[in-house]
Structure 1
Amino acid sequence: MKRIIVSVTNDLSTDQRVDKVCNTLHENNFNVLLVGRKLSNSFKLDRKYNTKRINLLFNTGFLFYAEYNFRLFFLLLFSKKDILLSNDLDTLLANFLVSKIQRKKLVYDSHELFTEVPELLDKPFVKSVWLKLENWILPKLKNCYTVCQSIADFYNTKYNTNFKVIRNLPNKKTIKKGLIPFSTKNKKIILYQGAVNVGRGLELMIDVMANLENYIFIIIGSGDISEDLKNKTIKEKLNNKVKFLGKLTPQELHKITPLADLGISLEEDLGLNYRYALPNKIFDYIQAEVPILVSNLPEMKRVVLDYNIGKIAEKRTPKKLANQIEKLVIKDFSSELKKAKEILIWKSEEEKLLTIFKNN
């Protein structure tokens, strides 16, 4: 039984992509250890495979990344393993060095265009450091995959690599509806689930709500701009129309998502990372049979058009977007959503994934 050590910089509890990869490997006779970090609010884990969380002195900025990779390096170096799986650029240095020192197979999963995230737009020095690391290591990688074709094409063109595409599709789900902790009687529910960060179109959606009657906009998740959005909601006197549920477990989220009348994914075109984004939430909405409104960006647009399960935002202004939403929610996409949810599932990606780990 081959031993795989999988590493991430998050706390493991909400990373559904990594959990699916680990489960697939575990179910196919790999011995899996998933390594991440422990936070003060980390949820308790109950997984079929082994997990380990590292307690850190630093949890943000350069010192966090430096400490994590330093400690990860020694953990990997002195642990039994046959294969290393690095998730994203922020775990790659430690994995790459150990793979070279001990001649172990290294697999790399790029969840996004790491050096093109909006958070780095106004940090040219930090971005240059990550780019140097990427320029040094990526051309040397033999076994790598990413979440969509646009990102694979970008890396393959820039670094002459051979990135495969393993889409972050969910496991097939049966719909289980839960309860929302406030009244939504006679109101349409618009849902956003995911990271509450810059460039997700959330400020725009709050402005949209001022133009909609009998609608509630629910934001599930946490992030850098959570407090700013709450303050904006108070300032605009939209507390009765915009609700924040914070971070939920995947199990809790699974029961809330089907209650929505519309799911949104309105990322802004803030550089290549968002332009090529194919957010997990799109597929979660589909599994919950919830129609979608997405940005006019290539990957998410392709899913909506290919399966006819929603609409592309025509204009990013509050009044026009509100008007489009009112027309969208009265359309019936139920038949198309049922078809799409049978196709867009993790099982369809597993064979491709296993091929990467089983080759030499």
Structure 2
Amino acid sequence: MLTDDVQIDRRILLEAESLISQGNEVILLAMSGSGDRAFETIGNVKVERVSGSELPYSERVILKVFNFYFKFIAFAFSFVNAASQIIANRFSSKIGRILFFLSRKTNSVFVLLGYKLQTASILLHKRLRKLSTHERFILQRALFYRPDAIHAHDLPQLKVAAYASNKLKIPLVYDAHELYPEIASLLPDQKRKLASLERKYIKRANAVITVNSYIAEEMRRRYKIAKPTVILNATNRPEYFDNSHKYDLFRNELNIKSHNKIILFQGWMSKQRGLQNLVRALAAMPNEIVLVFMGYGEAKPELLEIAIDLGCVDRVYFKDAVPQAELLYWTASADVGVIPYQAIDLNNYFCSPNKLFEFIQASLPILANDLPYLREVVFGEGFGVVSSLDSPEEYSESLLTLLDESCYQECKEQLLLKREKYSWLEQEHTLFKVYDSLTHRT
């Protein structure tokens, strides 16, 4: 498996663990962060951290050749300089000075020419080379392990995975976690290049999987391929997790009173996720309703400032992210989970985020923005309320509707009844079918 992640996505580890449970060995090549060990084991998954900082062999050869060239130039002109000095001392100082002057000038020309040739050689090499330095390093490590199949997580790893697949004559699985060329922060030229890259290499994959049917249909239409297999971003409940038990981790750690209703947002606090209006809505709601933000993100100072300005800062709490193994216990300690993603790009419009499946497994009623997949699951399955969360009024009205006793209890019942459908244990069967089809073909 190949991923650009430093902090490895839950989906990747779950897929790897499932394949290991079937008797496979999984080696994950992931990116190296500050302080990461080169080799580690996460659960049963063997992880090698790669930085790709080492120059490829061909570029090292170019540098060695020119290093020899510069040493030769230095030796040759030191010899000429010595000869000039002898001529100056024995015959004519004027001729010696002229020779010395010409020697220095010629030396400068040859050195400058050498540097220009070296730079041009490396640039030409990079243009002719089909993989970047970073990709070549990953390819080298992938070839070292001689795998029986290669699984590329997201677009940045697809090209190098295709090269490894071709060299080793092994099947390639492309796992698209999102519509990568549609990421909002990308420039138009970057989007075009990434779309072209995906269009070219997706057709080399023996199997394509993605996270929901909306993205699968968009990829089918866009790239003229068979509709990708859908494997949801589901999760499992921990072994000792008990839905009949009332977890109160937020109340205990943050000193929230037992009668307060906790509205939870967990994950990255982005300025583009509509969280500002969620805080503004709090000022218009009853005092027993409080907000908890669990995670990190650049929006935190702004959210705190809004709460101070509106006089409800004592009802807004922040909690750092917790380890994945503990997450569901904290999630179940809230009363409502919020998914406010705004349709700033096609990925957000078609989103099926991890937190949706965490809320479902924790049996937490959900308020979600009215986006296609969220409507299908949250409203369609009776897990909560969807609404156009464009204003504080929409937030407050929708939250009060969800917190109504009859609505709330109905959502809890549906969550308990249907949550297994959205568990990883259910999804891994689809993953096994994908790999079974590869085995049969090879």
Q: TM-score range by the shorter chain?
A: 0.7 to 0.9
Matches within 5 A, 1:40-55: 40=34, 46-55=42-51
Look up the match of 2:72.
none
1:355 equivalent in structure 2? 433
Alignment match of 1:78 (pick from 144, 166, 172): 144
Supply the distance in 1 between the matched residues of 2:332 and 2:372 (Cα, whole angstroms): 26
Q: How many residues in Structure 1 have an aligned counterpart in Structure 2?
A: 346
Structure 2 vs 1, CA of residues 320 and 277 (structure 1 numbering), >3 Å: closer, same or farther? Answer: closer
Relative distance call for 1:227 and 1:138 in structure 2 (3 A) is farther
Q: Is the Cα–Cα contact under 8 Å of residues 292 and 318 in structure 2 kept in the other structure?
A: yes
Query: Greater CA deviation, 99-108 or 219-228?
Result: 219-228
Residue in structure 2 matching 1:137, options 201, 204, 207: 201
Calculate the aligned-residue CA RMSD, in Å: 2.5
Q: Say which one has the larger Rg.
A: 2
Map 1:191-270; keep pairs closer than 5 Å. Answer: 191-212=264-285, 213-233=287-307, 238-270=312-344
Give the Cα separation in 1 of the matches to 2:357 and 2:397: 25
Please say if 1:10 is aligned against 2:75. Answer: no
Rounded Cα–Cα distance in structure 2 between residues aligned with 1:96 and 1:323? 50
Identify which range, 214-223 or 159-168, moves more after superposition.
214-223
- Equivalent residue, structure 1, for 2:168: 102
Closer/same/farther in 2, CA of residues 276 and 47 from structure 1, 3 Å limit: same
Name the % identity. 24
Of 264-273 and 216-225, the range deviating more from structure 2: 216-225
> What letter corresponds to residue 223 of structure 2 in structure 1?
Y
Q: Which moved more, 1:196-205 or 1:164-173?
A: 196-205
Q: Give the unaligned 5+ runs of structure 1.
A: 1-5, 58-64
1:276 aligned residue (336, 350, 359): 350
Measure how far apart 1:20 and its partner are.
1.0
Show the counterpart of 1:60. none
Aligned match of 1:3: none
Unaligned runs of 5+ in 2: 54-130
Structure 1, residues 45-70: CA drift from partner, whole Å, max 9, x if none?
6411212223476xxxxxxx966534
User: By how many angstroms is 1:209 displaced?
Assistant: 2.2
Q: Which moved more, 1:201-210 or 1:17-26?
A: 201-210
CA distance in 2, matches of 1:94, 1:262: 42
Question: What SS does structure 2 have at the residue aligned with 1:260?
Answer: coil
Q: 2:82 is matched with which residue? A: none
1:178 Cα deviation after fit: 5.7
CA contact (8 A) 1:119 1:198 kept: no
In the TM superposition, residue 281 of structure 1 has moved relative to its aligned partner by: 0.9
Task: State the 1:264 CA deviation.
Answer: 0.8
Structure 1 partner of 2:366: 292
User: Aligned partner of 2:175: which letter?
Assistant: D
The SS at the match of 1:240 is helix
Alpha-carbon distance between aligned partners in 1 of 2:41 and 2:248, rounded to the nearest angstrom: 22
Q: RCO greater where, 1 or 2, for CA within 8 Å and sep 6 or more?
A: 1
**Change in 2 beyond 3 A, CA 1:46/1:199:** same
Paired position in structure 1 for 2:79: none
Per the alignment, residue 113 of structure 2 pairs with none
